[in-house]
Amino acid sequence: MRHIIFKYFFILSALLLSSFMLSVYMPGDALDYILIREEKTSISSSNYEHQKTLLAQRLGYNKPLFYFSVTSLAELGWQHYLPSEQQQKSYNHLLRNYGCGSEVFTFYLMINAARTAITASLASVTDTSYRQTAAKAANCLYQIETQVNLNKNDSIINSFNTYAATLKLNSLANSILQSYNNMQTQKSSWKKWTPVIQLNSQNRFHDWFFGTDKYSGIIHLNLGQSLYTGRSIGSLLKEKIFWSLLLTVLAIFIAFFFGLFISLWLAYANNKFAGRIINTTTVLFYSLPVYFAGTALLYFFSNPDFLQIFPSSGISPIGGFSSDTSLSEKFIHTLPYLILPLICYTYSLWAFVQRTSASLIAAELKKPYALMALAKGLTKKEVVIRHIFPNIIAPFVALLANMFPAVIGGSVIIESLFSIPGMGLELIHATTTRNYPFISAVILITGLVTILLYLMNEWIHHYIDTRTKSVYT
């Protein structure tokens, strides 16, 4: 039992870490979406990067990613959020050359403060000479951040002080000079190349999983907010999951029932003609792409030029239901909308289940216990139903865990094709709007359900097949 618990604990941990890293490193910047949506801030705003830095601090983006990290001695104990790639490059360049983390960051802040002050002064000044001086001062700051030959920084700092005096930025120039001198005094570039393991009691994974209060964190069933609308992902999933779950459960039930029933019947009926027809049909269904099948069904059964039997899209009449419509009436009117999507969900699953169960039954029929039962005079039907059927239940149930991710993947196409407001259609919308937290949440939930199904299979296999008891005890 211990190794089973350890195995699934390891799988669950890997799933959580993967989902977290996926949410962190997905394209785009979540802070940009939040600032534009909630703060109503324009990217072109003069203090945009400053606001972004403050938001990052408030949301914990300046924390390390995990409980431990491999960093350099220069960065030990220093975790900073820099809003732009250029700023990150500038800071890392200074850190590589000087190695003293606190002094470098202080110097970096002074450089940015001077750059912000210069930009702000240009907004209200039209004098050409002043603007030229400001441009030269800004160029000095850029050279300080990117200078490969550190010996030239002294002269650049002096030049900046001269320009700063003209711009009336003497206090900032003095602060930069003082920070620069501190950096020179504490210079230890070797620290940047000395790796250390840093333990982080406060980190982003901890906040993501456990939350910062009782209402946040994955463990409290809080999956975050949509970057596109700001809406809770949990409430969005509750709204969309019903139709996806309904169609998935119905499809799996129908596929399992008919697939297993037909396989058992073919095993003892000895109807070779029916067997050839079923085998040909399963091969055709299993290889038929779902988008082709869905399009064909819509063309023949929802087309006014052919057989307009079923609605082409949606899950209810265009006008909706009135408030006094009973539940039975809603069911009757909704059912035609679900027929074609359910066929698309089911046909390939049925083909897979039927062929797999037929192979399992054929393999069991060749085993000694089945041959012995036939030799004792039992009919083939009795052997199949009483002896073979119980023995294939355990491996047959294992199919459920394999089928679930495939069904979720297929729902994206089917729900889009038939305009069903489920998770699949919402997943497409999330992809087009770059709503990455929703995508990460769907991946996490799908993985958790798959793990639970595999765990259920382990237990069912254990209780049905007594030969495996020694493995689990």
Pick the last residue of a domain from 17, 37, 64.
64
Q: Count CB atoms within 10 A of the CB of residue 375.
A: 8
CA distance 69 to 79: 11
Do 308 and 444 lie in a common domain? yes
In a domain, 458, yes or no: yes
User: Given the structure tokens 């059927």, which residue do they identify?
Assistant: 389
**354-371 confidence digits (pLDDT tens):** 988 888 888 888 889 888
**42-73 confidence digits (pLDDT tens):** 777 767 887 888 888 888 888 888 999 888 98
Q: Count CB atoms within 10 A of the CB of residue 145.
A: 19
Do 312 and 447 lie in a common domain? yes
CA distance 204 to 134: 40
In a domain, 221, yes or no: no
Pick the last residue of a domain from 48, 64, 80.
64
Pick the last residue of a domain from 175, 199, 223.
199
Which of 136-140, 207-211, 328-332, 399-403 is least confident? Answer: 399-403
Do 258 and 353 lie in a common domain? yes
Task: Give alpha helix (H) positions in 41-169.
Answer: 48-59, 85-98, 101-122, 128-146, 153-167
Do 165 and 248 lie in a common domain? no
In a domain, 204, yes or no: no
Do 257 and 112 lie in a common domain? no
Checking if the pLDDT of 283 tops 60, the result is yes
Q: What pTM value is reported for the model?
A: 0.75
Checking if the pLDDT of 193 tops 50, the result is yes
Instruction: Determine the 3-state secondary structure of 125 from DSSP.
Output: coil
Instruction: Determine the 3-state secondary structure of 37 from DSSP.
Output: helix
Number of domains in the chain: 3
State the residue range of the domain holding 1. 1-64
What is the average pLDDT score of the chain? 84
- Work out the average pLDDT over 424-437: 82
pLDDT in the model for residue 461: 67
Do 422 and 357 lie in a common domain? yes
CA distance 304 to 45: 55
In a domain, 315, yes or no: yes
**155-171 confidence digits (pLDDT tens):** 898 899 999 998 888 99
